[in-house]
Structure 1
Amino acid sequence: MSAVERMSAEDLRIIKECLDAAVNRPFFPDWEFQTLMGLTRGEIAAIAAAWPSSSEGGGQDDAVNNVLNMLLGYPHDHESRWHKYSSATPERIARVPARWRGDDGFDGTAKGAFDRLR
């Protein structure tokens, strides 16, 4: 079963919002976007535009994994504006990466964030 097939309709909506937020919102500066995500802003924008379908192969898996991971742990001082970019709370979003990866649970520690990087 693919990662997309494991997701509920709500999960797919949340992931789409997160992909769009990563690409179009103030969370990640251009100068470090590719370093943080492992893909360019344009590559993730293409994945978001085609969501949930993708011809990007492994790029889609990496994009979703890294966007969710970085949105949950990286963007500093944006917590008060999060509701403008996602209908889901960070706590709700935190439950999605484990299902996406096929893991048993979500490790919210700094070690967990680094372990999830691809």
Structure 2
Amino acid sequence: MVENARDAGVILECLWATVSGPFFEDWEFETLMGFGRDEIRRIAESWPTAEDDRAQRIAVNNALNNLLSYPHNRWDVWHDYISSTPTEIAGVYERFLRNAKTDRYFDRLM
């Protein structure tokens, strides 16, 4: 699912930032992520191995996509939670999408 250890580390950092950072309010978290905080936390704890590959793909996709694109307006604390820049994460996200098993239209919607 990831090309290298660096990408895996960036994704892990983003999963933890999604769970513990101020980027997403509790009332909207599950709607944006498709999972509750506890579920994303469990996925982060087991990363990069997964009990459920599909759930892991969705969690990673939604975490990266929302950190980069959702108007969380918390760029002021970004580097308190994530050491990579948004541009670097966008590159990781592109590689993740290329490697994700998204060969069908509906799989790519996540």
Aligned to 1:41: 37
Instruction: Give 1:42 deviation, angstroms.
Output: 1.1
The whole-number CA distance in structure 1 between the counterparts of 2:28 and 2:98 is 28
Matched-pair contact (CA < 8 Å) for 1:28–1:75: no
Following superposition, which runs of at least 4 residues in structure 1 exceed 3 angstroms of deviation? none
Per-residue deviation, residues 18-57 of structure 1 (Å, max 9, x unmatched):
0000001111111111100111111111000011111022
Number of corresponding residues: 102
2:46 aligned with 1:58, yes or no? no
Tell me: higher relative CO, structure 1 or 2? Use CA pairs within 8 A at least 6 residues apart: 2
> Is 75-84 or 15-24 further displaced after alignment?
75-84
TM-score, normalization by structure 2: 0.86
SS in 2 for 1:102: helix
TM-score, normalization by structure 1: 0.80
Instruction: Give 1:95 deviation, angstroms.
Output: 0.6
Which residues of structure 2 form unaligned runs of 5+?
100-107
The whole-number CA distance in structure 2 between the counterparts of 1:21 and 1:117 is 23
Paired-residue identity, %: 50
Matched-pair contact (CA < 8 Å) for 2:23–2:74: yes
Aligned to 2:104: none
Which residues of structure 1 form unaligned runs of 5+?
104-115
**Residue type of the partner of 1:93?**
I
